Amino acid sequence: MSDNYDVVVIGAGPAGYVAAIRCAQLGMSVACIDKRIGSNGKPVLGGTCLNVGCIPSKALLDSSQRYSDITNKMAVHGVNIKGVKLDLETMMGRKERIVGNLTAGIHSLFKANGITWLEGSGRVLAGKQVEFTGQNQEAKIIATENIIIATGSSPIEISSASLDNNRIVDSTGALEFANVPKTLGVIGAGIIGLELGSVWRRLGADVVVLEAQDTFLSMVDQQVAKEAKKQFSQQGLDIRLGARVTGTEVKGNKVTVTYVDTSGDNELVVDKLIVAVGRRPNTENLLSADSGINLDERGCIFVDENCQTDMPGIYAVGDVVRGPMLAHKGSEEGMMVAELIAEHKAAVNYETIPSVIYTHPEIAWVGKTEEELKKSGDAYQVGVFPFAANGRAMAAEDTAGIVKIIADKKTDRILGMHIIGPSAGDLIAQGVIAMEFAGSSEDLALTVFAHPTVSEAVHEAALDTLGRAVHIAKKRRPAK
Ligand code: FAD
Ligand code: AMP
């Protein structure tokens, strides 16, 4: 094994492994260091996303949605099912199998691309050197031309709810409950809290979500957020806003959670508690004092728009740098950095990164919210179409939600798309592509969408932006 590479990547999550593969495709010699140990006790690739993030959470969201549909939603289709039984062990086994297949897939890609996988920890030293400490605790120095730091993030812990990894868990623990808790508390109504709360609600838990902020999903367009709150409440998620958790106590099999809201001090007693209050960048023991790499005010590695740190030839990508903590954002940064190292032109368009919440209904958005545009004073026009008027959504008995398009008042250029409803996470790609091509709502309005599909709601929202939606009766506006 050579101890001298063109590129050393630290971290094999979606930011790091994509960067490593692209560098190798571009003809560079690449080593990728990762210290993660999988649930089978062996080193594993794929980072948070594949092991304890995107993939296992989506596996459980899909399984739990099927269970919930079969128990609650089949009679309307004329399908009567009795004696439905939940086999949580099999559900968890399926999740583990998917994770295993995907992480093994990354290993195969590494082999196919000639990437050296170094199992252990990496630390950046001065002079573009990396200290690698293997599983046997032996350290060695690796010389390299370029370093890509992709060390990701970890759940934030709060002193008012210290984890005991049994009754009080973080998102990783919440993917591994052996039984469905009768009562479940979730601290934080962010994306992760809502997704995990939904999984266990669907499987039968009584779920209370405590959120310190007064506004529900403050980063989401508030028309969409209001609909989401309504839908989640109907599903039995008890979301309490303005509720700041101040303490927890584990007594026997229960957790007592104390929180403050406008009514004063409150108590909630639950079987399990998930702490989902955000994530922090992984930078501990990562940089020697003389590495020349600096952190920003939020503790992320400071980088410019090219993901270059303060040291030439040393880059950082993914959750460890500014921007949304999303797998696809990290992957695109990884790809960009590989191209830049190869002296190609490359950039990431941060204006068109989609976000998705994989609840039911799904929530997805790209670009500016109406609240942001009101604040900036930019003139805009809005088109909205409800899935309740979409034939395919009706056929599927899945009519909750809307598509909302916001376009520049003068130029009609699309500034944002906001969806709550069936397949929102897939539909949003249409908004992303339209925005990437600097498209207008008229461009979408003039595009042919297949019938009957839920994507026709995007078409109708675009038509509505121009005052000419067909399948909804609205007070007449002057048509354009
Ligand atoms: P990571 O995936 O965190 O990978 C970094 C890797 O580096 C880790 O394996 C870590 O062990 C390793 N490492 C750290 N320090 C060192 C070191 N010094 N030496 C060696 N190795 C090191 N995002 C989405 O886009 N869609 C989703 O649906 C989604 N769902 C999520 C659900 C959950 C429950 C969670 C927790 C997260 C979810 N995310 C989702 C976020 C997503 O997982 C992250 O944005 C993504 O994993 C970040 O990728 P990364 O490569 O930057 O870091
Ligand atoms: P996100 O960062 O999107 O994963 O969301 C985490 C959420 O947790 C944010 O909306 C925070 O307001 C919320 N939060 C953080 N600390 C607390 C707390 N002590 N009590 C209740 N909610 C909290």
All structural domains of the chain: 4-155+280-348 (3.50.50.60), 159-277 (3.50.50.60), 353-465 (3.30.390.30)
Mean pLDDT of all residues in 404-416: 98
- Please say if the pLDDT value at position 289 is more than 50: yes
Instruction: List, in order, residues 6 or more apart from 27 with CB less than 8 Å away.
Output: 342
pLDDT of residue 231: 98
Q: Is the per-residue pLDDT at 118 higher than 70? A: yes
What's the CA-to-centroid distance between 279 and ligand 2, angstroms? Answer: 10
Predicted confidence (pLDDT) per residue in 164-219, tens digit: 999 999 999 999 999 999 999 999 999 999 999 999 999 999 999 999 999 999 99
On average, the pLDDT of the chain sits at 97
Paired residues of 281 in beta bridges: 153
d(CA 33, CA 289): 21
**Listed residue (437, 436, 395, 360) closest to 197, CA to CA:** 360
Percent of the chain with pLDDT over 70: 98
300 CB less than 6 Å from ligand 2?
Answer: no
pLDDT at residue 218, rounded to an integer: 98
Beta bridge partners of 362: 421
Q: What is the rounded CA–CA span in Å between residue 17 and residue 7? A: 12
Three-class SS state of 323: coil
Q: How far is CA 145 from CA 29, 115, 116, 275, in A?
A: 10, 16, 16, 41
Rounded to the nearest 5°, which phi and psi values hold at 67?
-60, -45
Q: Which residues contact 165 (CB under 8 A, 6 or more apart)?
A: 173
Nearest-angstrom CA–CA distance, 380 and 446? 20
Q: How far is CA 216 from CA 202, 399, 417, in A?
A: 21, 22, 19
348 CB-near residues (< 8 Å, 6+ apart): 329, 332, 333, 336
Which atom of ligand 2 lies nearest, measured to the CA of 218? 10
The Cα–Cα gap between 348 and 307 comes to: 10
- Asked if residues 34 and 50 have their Cβ atoms less than 8 Å apart, the reply is no
Instruction: Specify the range with the lowest mean pLDDT, choosing from 80-94, 362-376, 463-477.
Output: 463-477
How remote is the CA of residue 470 from the centroid of ligand 1, in Å? 44
- Structure-token pair, residue 13: 């999550």
Average pLDDT over residues 121-132: 97
**For 295, phi and psi rounded to 5 degrees?**
-100, 160
| Cα of 352 vs its chain's centroid, Å | 15
Our answer on whether the CB atom of 219 is closer than 6 Å to any ligand 2 atom is no
Q: Which residues contact 74 (CB under 8 A, 6 or more apart)?
A: 80, 81
Q: Whole-model pTM?
A: 0.97
- Specify the pLDDT at position 3: 78
Q: How far is CA 265 from the centre of its chain?
A: 32
Q: Is 187 in the pocket of ligand 2 (CB under 6 A)?
A: yes
Q: What is the pLDDT of residue 475?
A: 64
| Closest to 43 (Cα-Cα) out of 118, 105, 113 | 118
For residue 476, pLDDT beyond 80: no
pLDDT in tens, 336-357: 999 999 999 999 999 999 999 9
**What pLDDT is stored for residue 474 in this prediction?**
74
**Quick one: which atom of ligand 1 is closest to the CA of 45?**
9
Q: Which residue type, as a one-letter code, is found at position 90?
A: T
pLDDT given at position 480: 59
Between strands 153-155 and 183-187, the pairing is: unpaired
Nearest CA to ligand 2 atom 4: 278
DSSP single-letter state for residue 160: G
Between CA 462 and CA 120 the distance in angstroms is: 51
Identify which ligand lies nearest to the alpha carbon of 19.
1
Q: Phi first, then psi: what are they for 82, rounded to 5°?
A: -120, 155
Cis peptide before 181 (omega within 30 of 0): no
The single residue of 77, 418, 451, 459 carrying the catalytic annotation is: 451
- Is 451 one of the annotated active-site residues of the chain? yes
How far is ligand 1, taken at its centre, from the CA of residue 129, in Å?
A: 24
Tell me the C-alpha distance between 71 and 179, whole Å.
18
Q: Which amino acid, one-letter code, is at 171?
A: S
